Amino acid sequence: MSRDQEGGPASVGPARMPGDGQGGLTRAARGKGRPSGGCGASAGFTLLEVLVALTLMAMMVVLALGAFQIGVHTWQRGEGVVQEYEKGRRVYDQLSQDLKSAFLSPENAEIDFIGGSSSVSFVCTTSGLTSLTMAWRRVSYFLEGENGLALQEEMPGIAGGQDEEALPLDPQVKGLSFRYLAPPEEEEEEGEGSWVESWDSHKEHRLPQAVEVTLRYGQEGEGDEGEATEVSSFIVTLPVNVLSEEEDEDEGNLGDVIER
């Protein structure tokens, strides 16, 4: 009789759980390595996500380039405005200094002041653009076609003196006009006088009290009759300056400039 049959203690082995057979072990093995929860989706980008990212990047590049171009254009315009202002200031300084130093001489008929509505010619004592020395010189301001505002200098009454070639001062000036302030007819009469379109010192025997200068600016290529884009007007007061043998020619430096 076996030990089991004899009622002895039975051998104790590991307890089997339901479903703990070979099939259960296979299912457990199959489940190994699978991500838990919802993380089983693909870790890469989809085509739609790539297209959206590229589109956003392209838009950012376009916006950056546009901002850069706007900045460059603004800077260039600012530089142009500064250059035009400096050029206009040089013209203003040259014209006003020459007018302030204009003078007449009763002993020399060549030293006169002749002004029209679009040009003016007179003798002054300031140093010119073509000469660094202080000397009597005749200056003429006028328009010269595409060269715009031009200046011509010459030395009157001097042996060997020759007319200088006209110098272009500002090609942007498309219009030029002058007016001259005549004193009151009677010396006792109060008031600033009247503005006239021309002046001849041979007839008036004196300088005008003031000269009004109007410059009309336009873009290159518009021609002389093009519409002015900017108008600059200023008034230069002249000294009562008639040289005689006893008077000092330094009086020609008197005068004042009024800008408006």
Indicate whether 253 pLDDT > 50.
no
Res 259: pLDDT: 40
Quote the longest CA-to-CA distance of the chain: 170
Domain ranges of the chain: 80-259
Instruction: Starting at the earlier edge strand, list the strands of the sheet with 149-154.
Output: 167-170, 149-154, 137-143, 120-124, 113-115, 199-200
Return the pLDDT at 236: 93
Look at the alpha carbons of 136, 204, 117, 144 in this order and tell me if their dihedral is positive or negative: negative
Q: Mind listing the pLDDT tens digit for each residue in 96-155? A: 999 999 988 878 888 899 999 999 999 988 765 555 555 688 999 999 988 899 999 887
> Is 210 in a helix, a strand, or coil?
strand
Average confidence (pLDDT) over 42-68? 87
pLDDT at position 187 = 59
CA distances for 79 relative to 65, 68, 75, 85, 92, angstroms: 21, 17, 6, 10, 20
Which of 179-183, 215-219, 253-257: highest mean pLDDT? 179-183
In angstroms, the first-to-last Cα distance of the chain is: 140
What the block records as the tokens of 253 is 């430096």
Distance CA 94, CA 170 (A): 12
Contact 97, 157 (CB under 8 A): no
**pTM higher than 0.75 for the full model?**
no
Per-residue pLDDT at 213 exceeds 90: yes
